[in-house]
């Protein structure tokens, strides 16, 4: 069993437990459930930089990245830096995140928030909206076409954008459907953890222009972004590059100023 399979197996157990504690009806009655969302896709389409900055404490491939952050302060720092949106990891076991991080970020800023999670159940989509998310991430590697359709259509019905993440041509071809807003290419192979920006470049021509193209992982320089822009990418998800520094918001600000 590779790490991705292990994460999903654990995630399904976690969801079963959550369902027994907090029913969907309770999520739907939360104060944030009825709020109007901010569109991450629209923000990326009108931006000259396209940066989605991530809050990530650790990862299976890198271990501890930054355990000392205050997510509210990071969110404010990212907003002040001029990011298009913020990705908030909510997986506890493998990434050290939580739904509380999403709530704190939501309480701190009025920019689009992406819930980055291993979403495999409709419950998690409702949970995302109830905790302040404007967009969700779906990972093609762990979902069937039918599951992608069900989860993305639910998210759209709740007013959230959908970022679908792929790693190869097979995942991309099975995933293209109208209920997606953004197609993200993860340059990190989730099974081997090897990173190559060539993945984004190779798949770019296969992504229809109807979708906002987002490149994820391994982006650490302005040169990399300028190169990816020539392939039609409008969004760039950056986490580790900012989070490994003492002040992620300041690091994002310097990066974006250089990009401009």
Contacts of 52 (CB under 8 A, 6+ apart): 40, 44, 83, 84, 85, 86, 87, 114, 214, 235, 236, 237, 238
Residue for token pair 């998690």? 124
Distance from C-alpha of 7 to C-alpha of 120, rounded to nearest angstrom: 11
* Ranges of H-type helices in 61-98: 71-81
- Beta strand 51-55 with 85-89 is parallel
Active site residue 216: yes
Question: Is 169 an annotated catalytic residue?
Answer: no
Annotated active-site residue in 11, 56, 79, 213: 56
Active site residue 194: no
Contacts of 1 (CB under 8 A, 6+ apart): 9
For the range 65-70, what are the long-range contacts, defined as Cβ-Cβ under 8 Å and sequence gap of 24 or more?
Answer: 65/239, 65/240, 65/243, 65/244, 66/243, 66/244, 66/245, 66/248, 67/96, 69/243, 69/248
Query: What pLDDT score was predicted for residue 240?
Result: 87
At 121-136, the pLDDT tens digits run 999 999 999 999 999 9
So where are the chain's domains? 3-32+39-259
Residues of the chain with pLDDT under 50: none
Q: How many CB atoms lie within 10 A of CB 217?
A: 25
| Three-class secondary structure assignment of 211-235 | CEEEEECCCCCHHHHHHHHCCCCCE
Helix (H, G, I), strand (E, B) or coil at 30: coil
Residue 240, C-beta contacts closer than 8 angstroms, at least 6 positions apart: 54, 56, 59, 62, 65
Is the separation of the CB atoms in 75 and 108 below 8 Å?
yes
> Could you tell me if 162 and 182 are in contact, meaning their C-beta atoms sit under 8 angstroms apart?
yes
| Residue 194 pLDDT | 85
Given 217, 240, 251, 253, the catalytic residue: 217
What pLDDT does 143 receive? 97
Q: What is the pLDDT of residue 68?
A: 73
> Does 149 participate in catalysis according to the annotation?
no
Mean pLDDT of all residues in the chain? Answer: 95
Distance between CA 159 and CA 132 in Å, rounded? 12
Considering the candidates 186, 200, 215, 251, report the single residue annotated as catalytic: 186
CATH node for 3-32+39-259: 3.20.20.70
Q: Is 217 annotated in the active site?
A: yes
pLDDT of residue 3: 85
Q: Is 54 a catalytic residue?
A: yes
């Amino acid at each position: 069993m590779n790490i991705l399979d292990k994460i999903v197996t654990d995630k399904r157990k976690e969801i079963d437990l959550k369902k027994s504690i907090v029913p969907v009806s309770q999520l739907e009655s939360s104060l944030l459930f009825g709020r109007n969302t901010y569109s991450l896709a629209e923000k990326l389409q009108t931006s000259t930089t396209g940066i989605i900055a991530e809050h990530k404490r650790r990862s299976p491939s890198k271990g501890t990245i930054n355990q000392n952050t205050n997510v509210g302060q990071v969110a404010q720092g990212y907003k002040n830096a001029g990011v298009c949106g913020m990705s908030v990891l909510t997986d506890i076991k493998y990434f050290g995140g939580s739904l509380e991080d999403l709530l704190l970020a939501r309480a701190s800023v009025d920019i689009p928030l992406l819930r980055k999670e291993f979403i495999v159940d409709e419950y998690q989509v409702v949970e995302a909206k109830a905790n302040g998310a404007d967009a969700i991430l779906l990972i093609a590697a762990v979902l069937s076409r039918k599951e992608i359709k069900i989860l993305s259509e639910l998210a759209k019905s709740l007013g959230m954008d959908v970022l679908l993440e792929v790693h190869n041509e097979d995942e991309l071809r099975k995933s293209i459907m109208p209920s997606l807003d953004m197609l993200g290419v993860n340059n990190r192979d989730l099974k081997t953890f090897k990173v190559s920006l060539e993945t984004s470049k190779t798949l770019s021509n296969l992504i229809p222009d109807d979708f906002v193209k987002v490149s994820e992982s391994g982006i650490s320089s302005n040169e990399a972004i300028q190169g990816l822009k020539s392939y039609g990418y409008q969004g760039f998800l950056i986490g580790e590059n900012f989070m490994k520094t003492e002040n992620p918001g300041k690091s994002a600000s310097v990066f974006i100023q250089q990009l401009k």
